[in-house]
Structure 1
Amino acid sequence: MNRKVAAFLGRHNFSIHQDINSIVEAMLFDMNEGLSGRPSGEDMIRTYANPPSQATAGKSVIVIDAGGTNFRSCLVTFDSNGNPSIDFMEKTRMPGVDRELSKKEFFDQISANLEHLKDKSSSIGFCFSYPVDIQEDGDGVLINFTKEVKAPEVEGSHIGKELEKALKEHGWKNKLHVSMLNDTVSALLAGAADPDEGMKYSSYVGFILGTGMNSAYIQTASPEYKNLKTQIINCESGKFDKVARSDFDISFDKKSEKPGIGIMEKLCSGAYMGPIAFEAVTAAGKENLFSEKLSEKLSQLDSLTQIEMDSFLHAPYSTNSKLGSIMAECAKDDDYDVLFQLLDALVERCARMAAAILSACVIKSGEGKTADKPVCILCNGTSFFKTYKVRQRVLGYLEEILVKERGLYFDVISRENDITLGTAIGGLL
């Protein structure tokens, strides 16, 4: 690494190559605490659900996917052979992203978004990508919003019951049943429902690395955990807090919508990687890591997004990106190398954190002990698949940590419309 960059990052407590196994062990401790009912960073939410033993057939379900940025809704119909079809798909903005909403405004906006699906089914699968305490009847109580969604009155509410009430007020006539799922649970269910041909898996993991970050796995029943039957566990991995933070992370966290919440997520998910990069780049400019003219130009930046930093990493000498055009105008000497390595350090950390989360889930599942029946990991999210070298690095670290060091086997897959189909399956469990 460029010595100036190494010294700068070290000065600001940014660990360039954190030991992944140390993070894995800390996560396994945290997961165990959460499952045992003791305080932990991760919520370790019981879902009371498992992948269905046979394909869903002959039913329709309304699917809602409330993500970090977008709100999608559609109707999924399974034919007599269990083949799904998706109709009436619409996408809009997630309520509460652009401005703060009251509880009534939040559910009224959702109801308006679902008008095109009115009374098309009595079953609703609601993928709600925020920490929710799932109830045995399938409803869920919102613990807190993340990803900078602003609707504080909704926290503590039974999301399903509130939605049913709002839809009735908007003229829905069917008796509704809403099943709440996290997006990682939907991803896991999609992987279980659509394995690669000729493959058998010993267990399943769902992983999201997009605007936010989270994971889910299947926990086997154990006397160690009171009243816990074998079921899918939503880990809320983004809330893991037993991890080192740099000055840049702490500085941004103080400015965020909810300081102190979502520590792991703020280190590397799409909603936060750009702002953390902004903190690092502007600090580097003030400390003369760049040439004088470039430092002055970078000091005029008012923000930086993940897309903008990623565009530079993919093509540093292109002038089509925000940073690339600035560099072409006034970069000198080793400015390109310094900026590239500074931004790449953030991506490297993201990959290591993702590998730690996935390793912990596979280890905790207790499966993947033979190569012919690996643990199936369904990954979803643009940050995983499109951010500069994240996917390649994660796979390399998993091979080292799981296969070479522990003799545990895994298979990473992806599926088109995975969250939609997994939510549809969950909505009919």
Structure 2
Amino acid sequence: MHDIRLIREDAAAFDTALARRGAAAASATLIALDEERRAVVTEAQTAQARRNEASKAIGAAKAQKRDDEAAALMAEVATLKEKLPALEARERELNDALNDALAALPNLPAADVPDGADETENVEVSRWGTPRSFDFEPQEHADFAPALGLDFEAAARISGSRFAVLRGGIARLHRALGQFMLDRQSDAGYSETAPPLLVRDDAAFGTGQLPKFHDDLFQTTDGRWLIPTAEVSLTNLVREQILDEAALPIRLTALTPCFRSEAGAAGRDTRGMIRQHQFEKVELVTIATPEQSEDEHLRMTGAAEAILQALSLPYRKMLLCTGDMGFAARKTFDLEVWLPGQNNYREISSISNCGDFQARRMAARFRAAGDAKGTRFLHTLNGSGLAVGRTLVAVLENYQEADGSVRVPQALIPYMGGIDTLVPA
């Protein structure tokens, strides 16, 4: 959400920043709506003041037997009484129009975000690890993992496409990955949290899923939304709150199911587990002051990288360009893990600093130390630490053997009860 006052102060800068996101200039429309709204507010306030003044004058006129004057004042009050509801209704209408227009605009990019139209213009920041050299042709997980207990056909009979059933050792490996990630992120200072999986409209609006991504969400019959990520629940824990600066930063983590209709990804990644309607993810969320958020962004990215390093999975870190960032983000790092079956790097974590964009939508503020009256908007950050299903894919493909078995990464063996290899049935 954007501040109309800041737009009025420097409309050209706002439009320039929007242009970097590939969005059309909007300041003129926004300012025109705001000016009309403020004019209506002023007119309503003037009318209300005159109504109060005239109402008082009626009594005085009556007391002094000035009947004609009293009658004229009463007629004026009656006219104002009829006019005020229309002005108030118009004010609400303009206020809603302005808020809807502001809510539809993406966050503005940070100054150090590279310009670009799409993912082809993202900038590689670093790489870690060397892709394994195989003495056989590595396969994609969808080709060899069914023999290990990955069942797409049963899932399709039950739920349709983009679902999976996991059985036996591969189900245990999936569970081990989630627990391992959650333990590591808790050790890294992120407080384990078990949040709701169903949220109301205002929560989904607060983190930017509504209204823009309405079609990408699943809705229940009572109007609630299944979370597409625990970011929604965790970030909204501070909605409509005023926090003390001393309590910040707040670092949270959760392992939850996530649900996405993937309406915006029709036809993409239809094979395997890369893009599912239901998946599990360990989410990281930080609530910080503006002064803390940049360091917290690097810290969160490091926490996600640490999981890949502990599992010895090669990856690269990408700084997303303006055209590839998410709606609510002002700066994003993607971690892309190496998948030998695809002979390509694929996104496994996206870590974003949203600045005060979400906090404005949630009315989430903090009070600086020594400031008894003033408040400022919080900064919010979120990222995957990591997506469990995609990490399972990465482990399967990077640790596969020629006979169809899969070695268990050393860090996961304690979580697997000592099992060090998954063997085809």
Asked whether the two chains share a fold, i.e. TM above 0.5, the reply is: no
Greater C-alpha Rg: 2
TM-score, normalization by structure 1: 0.24
TM norm structure 2: 0.25
